[in-house]
């Protein structure tokens, strides 16, 4: 059977097609055609705002700016934005673009796509990390999404707060070694958890931590003891991926395993858990667990529904119903955390606590020229973790 071209390729766009404006809703193409035909090309400002956040999140993390700037640097526009990794609230503009409307109208679809998904993933990761505290959170969900997106997903999971990512290519993107333990497949190939672990220890370089997966063939308690006896001090952790159908009370299973290991002098062995872990599980498991592999909950995080709306035309405030017209500033106080969205004037303002407000919506791009230095993922991540420390999750 012969395959036509469409069947013989990944069903994804070429990056060049995104830059050329091909990933656009057709109504923008049609709008461009009409504006050109009628000679209409006003200078406008448009802003990106989320009126509501998913799952009643009280705040979210702005992410995806680096990619959005990579796209927008090809356009003759000015951009102001919050820095990547900024906390923001509903109704605060996270980004504003200014230019002739014909120059950017077909890019709205792609720009929104870049920030909506990235911000959702980063926010979800931030929430998990805040819940987990000092316990480790690893991004394990690449396998639930299109592989082309894996580095993007894991990069945003990392800047949001994940301690590590699983995919090799994602590790390269963020500049960190990928994290992983062993799959059930390795154990099934050997026919024994202990034999698989011994081979793992035998073959892999010493810097890789020895972590045994212990839910493949036998009861968790007895398998814990088997692997502890086999590797002793060298065993860093055990991972419980216990199928939900066998979990019963997962906390009690973990507690029993901890007891039995501690009794025999294996209290150094840490506990990692994976498999369908949700935000609400973290609080229950935290006292007994040292790390989590989080899959779908982060990789398939709800998106932040930003909209792009024109709010100024030829210098005059003008916006659709339900949106506030005019260009805006977003002010924040470093001392007390108070924030304000105000019209885009040049005045200085003091917070009610006495400290000077500073602008968090700042010029980032001007006709292809970067006006800010892009930060390393590890630095963005640190900024996120610092800024969410005092914030509530509900």
In the complex, least distance from residue 358 CB atom to Zn ion, rounded to whole angstroms: 11
Instruction: Say how far residue 73 (Cα) sits from the centre of its chain.
Output: 23
Among 168, 188, 263, 336, binds Zn ion (CB under 5 A): 336
Among 301, 333, 364, 388, binds Zn ion (CB under 5 A): 333
CA 90 to each of CA 51, 185, 233, 341: distance values in angstroms, whole numbers, following the listed order: 5, 45, 50, 11
Asked if residue 350 binds Zn ion (CB under 5 A), the reply is no
In the complex, least distance from residue 256 CB atom to Zn ion, rounded to whole angstroms: 50
How far apart CA 386 and CA 133 sit, in angstroms, is: 12
- Are 392 and 364 a contacting pair, CB within 8 Å? no
In the complex, least distance from residue 92 CB atom to Zn ion, rounded to whole angstroms: 17
The residue (of 30 and 355) whose beta carbon lies closer to Zn ion is: 355
Stretch that binds Zn ion, among 18-26, 148-156, 225-233, 329-337 (CB under 5 A): 329-337
Among 116, 142, 308, 351, binds Zn ion (CB under 5 A): 351
Burial of 15 from C-beta contacts in 10 A (0-12 / 13-18 / 19+): exposed
Which among 261, 286, 9 has a CA at the least distance from the CA of 131? Answer: 286
Q: What is the CA radius of gyration of the chain?
A: 25
Among 33, 143, 268, 335, binds Zn ion (CB under 5 A): 335
Site string for Zn ion, 277-316 (x = CB under 5 A): ----------------------------------------
How far apart CA 125 and CA 132 sit, in angstroms, is: 10
Instruction: Say how far residue 64 (Cα) sits from the centre of its chain.
Output: 9
CA 229 to each of CA 241, 254, 270: distance values in angstroms, whole numbers, following the listed order: 20, 18, 15
Stretch that binds Zn ion, among 27-35, 71-79, 323-331, 338-346 (CB under 5 A): 338-346
Stretch that binds Zn ion, among 219-227, 290-298, 345-353, 370-378 (CB under 5 A): 345-353
How far apart CA 268 and CA 89 sit, in angstroms, is: 42
The residue (of 192 and 387) whose beta carbon lies closer to Zn ion is: 387
Tokens of 300: 């398939």
In the complex, least distance from residue 91 CB atom to Zn ion, rounded to whole angstroms: 20
Q: Binding-site residue total for Zn ion (CB under 5 A)?
A: 7
The residue (of 246 and 335) whose beta carbon lies closer to Zn ion is: 335
Among 176, 338, 366, 375, binds Zn ion (CB under 5 A): 338
Interaction site with Zn ion (CB under 5 A): 333, 335-336, 338, 351, 353, 355
């Amino acid at each position: 059977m012969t395959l036509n071209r469409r069947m013989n390729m990944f069903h994804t766009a070429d990056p060049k097609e995104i830059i050329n404006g091909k990933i656009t809703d057709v109504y923008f193409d049609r709008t461009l055609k009409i504006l050109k035909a009628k000679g209409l090309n006003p200078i406008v400002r448009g802003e990106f705002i989320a009126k509501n956040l998913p799952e009643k999140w009280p705040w979210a993390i702005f992410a995806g700016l680096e990619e959005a700037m990579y796209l927008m640097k090809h356009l003759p526009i000015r951009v102001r934005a919050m820095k990547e990794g900024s906390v923001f609230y509903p109704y605060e503009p996270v980004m504003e673009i200014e230019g002739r409307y014909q120059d950017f109208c077909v890019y709205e679809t792609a720009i929104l796509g870049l920030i909506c998904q990235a911000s959702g993933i980063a926010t979800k990761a931030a929430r998990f990390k805040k819940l987990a505290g000092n316990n480790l959170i690893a991004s394990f969900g690449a396998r639930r999404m299109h592989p082309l997106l894996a580095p993007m997903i894991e990069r945003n999971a990392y800047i949001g707060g994940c301690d590590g990512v699983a995919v090799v290519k994602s590790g390269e993107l963020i500049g960190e070694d990928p994290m992983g333990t062993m799959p059930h497949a390795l154990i099934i190939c050997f026919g024994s958890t202990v034999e698989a672990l011994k081979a793992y220890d035998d073959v892999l370089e010493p810097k890789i931590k020895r972590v045994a997966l212990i839910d493949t063939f036998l009861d968790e308690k007895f398998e814990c003891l088997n692997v502890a006896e086999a590797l002793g001090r060298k065993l860093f952790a055990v991972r419980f991926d216990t199928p939900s159908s066998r979990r019963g009370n997962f906390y009690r299973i973990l507690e029993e395993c901890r007891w039995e290991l501690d009794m025999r002098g294996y209290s150094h062995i840490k506990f990692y858990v994976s498999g369908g872990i949700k935000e609400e599980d973290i609080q229950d498991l935290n006292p007994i667990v040292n790390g989590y592999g989080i899959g779908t909950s982060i990789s398939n995080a709800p998106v932040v529904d930003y909209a792009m709306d024109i709010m100024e035309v030829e210098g005059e405030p003008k916006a659709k119903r339900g949106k506030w017209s005019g260009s805006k500033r977003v002010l924040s106080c470093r001392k007390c955390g108070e924030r304000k969205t105000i019209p885009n004037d040049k005045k200085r303002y003091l917070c009610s606590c006495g400290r000077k407000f500073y602008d968090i919506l700042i010029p980032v791009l001007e006709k292809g020229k970067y006006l800010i230095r892009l930060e390393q993922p590890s630095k963005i991540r640190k900024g996120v973790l610092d800024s969410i420390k005092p914030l509530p999750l509900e």
